[in-house]
């Protein structure tokens, strides 16, 4: 392949790949799933609809960008959780890692739901995940409005903007006045 064709091919590949900031997507409904959390309670995505935006992060304890992402998302959850923002952190390490995941979440101060995708069915098959962190955000009705592979400091500004756009109207005034403090 000549150098010109190589350059064109590289441009096409990079243009098609999602950035770390992610892509805004409208209309596709998030695939439903039901997974156990680290306490053994079953959480079903579709039962979360109607309250506010939902941020789903597929992660693992060994993944440094995942840990950084969830540290930042915890701050947004603390800020907007009472306004309907939900976080589902779906760990992909399997059932043998539950005790490790529990202590890891506790030591990091994470207060959102940590779910266990013990066979990778949700991450790989339903969400077509191939790298972590992989995050999806839905509107209150379950439509995907954002997805991203990777996370870097600064991405939270885009996520926060989406949260504010999706908070139910009756809670929006409280959330916006809280974000100006």
User: In the structure, what pLDDT confidence band is assigned to residue 176 with cuts at 50, 70 and 90?
Assistant: low
Mean pLDDT of 19-24: 45
First to last CA, the chain: 57
User: In the structure, what pLDDT confidence band is assigned to residue 122 with cuts at 50, 70 and 90?
Assistant: very high
Pairing of strands 34-36, 113-116: unpaired
Extents of the domains making up the chain: 24-39+51-176
This prediction has a pTM of 0.81
Helix (H) or strand (E) holding 166: helix 155-166
Superfamily of domain 24-39+51-176: Glutaredoxin (3.40.30.10)
pLDDT at 128: 92
pLDDT at 67: 94
The answer to whether 133 touches 65, Cβ cutoff 8 Å, is yes
Does residue 19 register a pLDDT over 80?
no
pLDDT at 1: 52
The answer to whether 114 touches 37, Cβ cutoff 8 Å, is yes
């Amino acid at each position: 392949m000549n150098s010109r064709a190589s350059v064109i091919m590289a441009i096409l590949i990079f243009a098609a790949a999602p950035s770390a900031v992610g892509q805004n997507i409208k209309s596709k409904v998030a695939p439903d799933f039901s997974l156990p959390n680290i306490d053994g309670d079953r959480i079903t995505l579709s039962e979360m609809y109607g309250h506010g935006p939902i941020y789903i992060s597929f992660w693992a304890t060994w993944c440094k960008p995942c840990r950084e992402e969830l540290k930042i998302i915890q701050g947004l959850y603390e800020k907007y959780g009472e306004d309907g923002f939900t976080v589902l952190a779906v760990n992909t390490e399997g059932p043998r890692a539950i005790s490790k995941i529990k202590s890891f979440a506790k030591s990091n101060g994470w207060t959102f739901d940590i779910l266990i995708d013990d066979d990778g069915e949700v991450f790989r098959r339903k969400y077509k995940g191939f790298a972590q962190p992989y995050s999806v955000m839905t509107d209150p009705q379950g439509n995907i409005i954002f997805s991203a592979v990777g996370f870097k400091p600064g991405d939270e500004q885009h996520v926060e903007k989406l949260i504010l756009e999706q908070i139910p109207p009756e809670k929006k005034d409280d959330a916006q006045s809280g974000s100006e403090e």
